Structures are given as structure tokens and as C-alpha cells.
């Protein structure tokens, strides 16, 4: 006896359903790989956080207008050069290289390397001490 799955008015048996799921997975993986153009390989040495469409595009879908780094990258023939890396495309005072190495976005001035965002060591020490004290108190209960 085979099981049947009803979707709306359509009825699928187990084999048909498996084939449908297989094609959905294949189509899903194709669209994901197509979203990353070949020139993303130029960013191979950098963290995965920068291997996104938004490194060069404004929209996360990768279509539409380029952000400041994307425009500079395009003007540069879509090639990473020392001049492009030394430039601060988004004008946030961090070079494109600093941002790419830190996994930040060199085309979005609102996103900067984490090291500049982190609190001073004194504040980190106080926060860590409070967290540890809280955990120790919770464990003793
Ligand atoms: Ca920058």
C-alpha cells in the first residue's frame, strides 16, 4: 500500500513526491550558486562575510545599483589591486583592505571593522566580571 500526499486538489504518491523534492532542492542550489558571480573569487582570501552580493551591490539580491566599493571595483575592471585596497570607497575612514580583512563592508559606511566598535578593555573587563559573577551565582542555585 503506497501513501499519498494531497496538496490542494492534486494527489502525489511517495515516489512522485520524492522526485518533486529532488528537483526543488536542485533548483534551489542552482539559484544560490548563480547569485554569486565568478568574480567573487577575487575575494577568496577574505572572510566569508564579504563574499556576499552586498559587498558590491546595495540590494542583497545582487541586482540593481552598485555601492561605492562595487563602483570602484567595476571601474577597476573587477580586479583587486593594491590601489583599490588602499582606497576608502565608502568614506568611513577604513581602507577597503581593512574592511575586507575584518569581514566588514567596504561599500557601506555604516558597517566598519569590529575592532573599532568594541568597547575599551576596561569596559570589557567589567562586563566579563559581571557576567561571570552572574553565572557563578546561577550555578550555585
Ligand atoms: Ca571604508
Model pLDDT for residues 66-109, shown as the tens digit of each residue: 999 999 999 998 888 999 999 999 999 999 999 999 999 999 99
Say how many Å lie between the CA of residue 64 and the centre of ligand 1: 21
Surface-to-core class of residue 84, CB atoms within 10 Å of its CB (0-12 exposed, 13-18 middle, 19+ buried): buried
Residue 127 — very low, low, confident or very high, per pLDDT cuts 50/70/90? Answer: confident
State which residues form the domain around 46. Answer: 38-117
Residue 32 — very low, low, confident or very high, per pLDDT cuts 50/70/90? Answer: very low
Residue 4 — very low, low, confident or very high, per pLDDT cuts 50/70/90? Answer: low
Number of domains in the chain: 2
Note whether residue 131 is domain-resident: no
Average pLDDT, the chain: 80
Residue showing cell 496538496: 7
Note the pLDDT of residue 130.
86
Contact residues for 108 (Cβ-Cβ < 8 A; gap 6+): 54, 67, 90
Residue 14 CA: distances (Å) to CA of 4, 10, 98, 104, 123: 6, 13, 53, 46, 59
**Structure-block grid coordinates of residue 134:** 552572574
Mean pLDDT along residues 130-140: 85
User: Could you tell me if 76 and 113 lie in one domain?
Assistant: yes
Say how many Å lie between the CA of residue 58 and the centre of ligand 1: 15
**Structure-block grid coordinates of residue 49:** 562575510
- Which pLDDT tens digit goes with each residue over 36-61? 567 778 888 999 988 888 999 999 88
Residue 30 CA: distances (Å) to CA of 25, 36, 52, 54, 132: 9, 10, 16, 19, 46
Note whether residue 135 is domain-resident: no
Q: How far is it, in rounded angstroms, from Cα 132 to Cα 97?
A: 36
User: Could you tell me if 84 and 43 lie in one domain?
Assistant: yes
Say how many Å lie between the CA of residue 36 and the centre of ligand 1: 22
User: Could you tell me if 77 and 100 lie in one domain?
Assistant: yes
Note whether residue 128 is domain-resident: no
User: Could you tell me if 30 and 86 lie in one domain?
Assistant: no
Say how many Å lie between the CA of residue 37 and the centre of ligand 1: 22
User: Could you tell me if 20 and 52 lie in one domain?
Assistant: no
User: Could you tell me if 11 and 60 lie in one domain?
Assistant: no
Say how many Å lie between the CA of residue 91 and the centre of ligand 1: 5
Say how many Å lie between the CA of residue 114 and the centre of ligand 1: 13
User: Could you tell me if 13 and 61 lie in one domain?
Assistant: no
Nearest Cα to 107, choosing from 59, 32, 57? 57
Note whether residue 101 is domain-resident: yes
Amino acid at each position: 500500500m503506497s501513501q499519498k500526499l494531497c496538496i490542494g486538489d492534486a494527489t502525489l504518491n511517495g515516489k512522485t513526491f520524492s522526485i518533486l523534492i529532488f528537483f526543488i532542492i536542485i533548483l534551489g542550489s542552482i539559484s544560490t550558486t548563480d547569485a554569486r558571480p565568478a568574480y567573487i573569487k577575487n575575494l577568496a582570501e577574505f572572510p566569508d562575510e564579504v563574499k556576499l552580493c552586498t559587498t558590491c551591490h546595495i540590494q542583497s539580491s545582487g541586482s540593481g545599483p552598485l555601492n561605492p566599493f562595487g563602483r570602484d571595483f567595476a571601474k577597476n575592471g573587477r580586479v583587486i589591486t593594491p590601489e583599490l585596497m588602499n582606497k576608502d570607497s565608502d568614506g568611513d575612514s577604513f581602507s577597503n583592505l581593512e574592511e575586507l580583512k575584518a569581514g566588514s563592508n567596504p561599500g557601506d559606511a555604516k558597517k566598519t571593522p569590529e575592532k573599532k566598535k568594541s568597547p575599551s578593555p576596561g569596559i570589557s573587563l567589567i562586563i566579563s566580571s559581571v557576567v561571570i559573577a552572574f553565572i557563578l551565582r546561577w550555578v550555585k542555585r
